[in-house]
Structures are given as structure tokens and as C-alpha cells.
Amino acid sequence: MPLVAHSDLPSFDRLRREGQEVLEPRRARAQDIRELHIGFLNMMPDAALQATERQFLRLVGSCNRIAQFYVHPFSFPEIPRGEEARAHIHEHYSDFAELQRDGLDALIISGANPAQAELADEPFWKPLTHVVEWSRANVCSVMCSCLATHAIVRLLWNFERYRLPQKRWGVYSNRVSPRAHPLTANINTRFDAPHSHLHEVSAAQFRRAGLQVLAAGEDADLHLGASPDGLRFVFFQGHPEYDAVSLLKEYRREVGHFLDGARDDYPPFPENYFRGKAAEVLEDYQRRVTQAQKSGARPEFPEEELAQWVDNTWSDTGKAIINNWLGMIYQVAHPKRGEVFMEGVNPDDPLGLLSNK
């Protein structure tokens, strides 16, 4: 069932124009359908703030469960912002204190742009610990994306991410763990997922800590994992929310950094992403850049042309996993927010996964 446009967040109109069903509150109130309220902590930098917002709204709105989804975005004032982003957050985002008062069924935590070598030195670290501690006792499940995964396994399971020799960047193949789990029910046993990170945690670290590894790949290691109970925390290291052109836009920014002198080397292609015609176009563009450097000119990056030649090979699986996640929450969330688990459900093992070992 659809998202509910319960505020004037511009992303609701954008998704509606894309063809996604978004209910007006008046229509939503007229339907006798259960609600699920999902917090969305958006820690992304200004340039990606609204795009990330739309990507996660799109994933949740694509779910086919019989429920109305109220997504409540919020962020931290401690994260440095420009004027436009601050205005967007002030006008359209919720205050976390209000969400605590009203209650949430689930929480999604985005990644962030790392600025410090140590996670504990990041401006979001202290408020994030507060959100996580509250969520452990007050929501059914927390879904973590990329850097949020790194932060929370350090905070709660006391193991550290490690720096890679070079950025893990591209689209990688993953296999689902042979052990059955509701999150991976009825999805492809092998599927693609984008990654974009310089630090990572491994499947081996997850297993040593007693966490569940649900999908991983030979080249990109951990993609999807979960806390021991299978639901309280769900971890993505990859990015199922990415649009087809997300890596393209990242690549354009890296080329811009090279042209501005902010990086010494011309950026390599994201792995397994630019193929065929797209690779030909970019190789030609690099030749023109090399020639133009002598004259000081800057050829225009061929983003529109490239957008025709990049493929999205991950969204269907990402939507299926999110669909499964919301279905799990639907089973155990109390219809009255603030009373998290239904009567008779063990809050330490809400789906009976541990007792069925």
C-alpha cells in the first residue's frame, strides 16, 4: 500500500510525478487500513540529502503490504549544513523529541559522508548514540545503511570498521546465505548491489560477533546482515536504495575533483557499472579532457548521454528485501504506537528465530 503525504515534504510530489502512488491524508483517513510509522534519520551531506530522502521513500512506498506508511524524516543539527539544506530540514523534517513522544514502529538510518578517521569524532556520533539507545527499547527494528552499519556495530558489538587499500566502488554480485531467513525469503539466490565506501566491516567480523550474515559476495564481502534475533537491527553495507544514475553522479563528482586539482589521478570506473557504449563514451571523454588540459578548457561531462547506457540491476531485489522487512514489522508491531510488541511476543526473539534453531 502507498506512502501517505502527511506533510508538505517536496519528495512526495516528486514521487507522485514519477508515477508512485502517494495518498493524501484525507484519503488515508477514509480507509480502514493499519498504519506503520517509520522514522528516517537522514545524515547524508547537503548534495545528497534530498536524493537519499527520495530513494528510501521510494523503497518503502514500493512495498505491497496492507498498510499505510507514514515516513518521518529527521536529522541532527550537529551536522554542518548550508543554508538551503538547513531550510529544507527546518521546514519539512520532524523533531526527534516529537517522534519519541508519538512513537515509531521502525527506523531507517542513512549513511553519512565520513570526515574523520575515527567514527567517534564525527559530529553525528553523540546524537546517534542517543537515537540508537532509544530505538533499542522503543521500535521493532532499525535498518542501517553503509556508514550507519559501521557506527552501530562499533557502538553495540564493539568491533571496528577497517580502511580498504582503495575505495569499494561499483556493482557487485552477492549470494544469499543458505540458512533461511524471513528477510531473504523469495528473493534471487544471486543478485547485484552497489557499494561505495572506503571503510568496511566483513562477514567474518559479523560471524565472530554472533551477528547473522544474510548476503555477501566474493568481491565486495558483506552486503546484508542482522542482529542475532534477526530483526532488531538490519544492516546493509551496500546501497539497495541507489538509483540507476547514482554511481554515475558520483563518478562525475570524482572527475570534477580531478579537474579542480583535488585528486591527482583520473578516477577509475566504478567496477561492473560502465559497460559497452557507456565505457566507450567515457574513454572518449577522458581523451578530450587530456587534450583540453593543455589549453585550459573543460569539456562538458556527457551525463545525459551516459544515463541512457547504465543499467539498474539491483532495485527489484532491494525492494523485495524491504518488503520482507516491513512484513516482519507488521507481524510484531503493536497497532498502538509506543507499545512495541504484541501480546505473547518475546521482545528478544520476536519472530521465533532463536527458539527455532
The domain segmentation of the chain, as residue ranges, is: 3-242+312-332, 246-307
Give the residue numbers marked as catalytic: 146, 239, 241
Based on its alpha-carbon atoms, the radius of gyration of the chain, rounded to whole angstroms, reads: 21
Structure confidence at residue 111 (pLDDT): 96
Residue 123: phi and psi, rounded to 5, are: -65, -25
> What percent of the chain is modeled with pLDDT above 70?
91
- The residues that bridge with 35 in the sheet, in sequence order, are 68
For 304-340, the pLDDT digits (tens) are: 999 999 999 999 999 999 999 998 998 888 666 555 5
Report DSSP letters for 71-103, one per residue: EEEE--TTS---HHHHHHHHHHPPPHHHHHHH-
What span, in angstroms and rounded, lies between the C-alpha atoms of 25 and 20? 16
Structure confidence at residue 232 (pLDDT): 95
For 7-20, the pLDDT digits (tens) are: 889 998 888 888 77
Topology (CATH level 3) of domain 3-242+312-332: Rossmann fold (3.40.50)
Structure confidence at residue 155 (pLDDT): 96
Torsion of CA 131, 177, 52, 48, to 10 degrees: 100
Q: What is the reported pTM?
A: 0.89
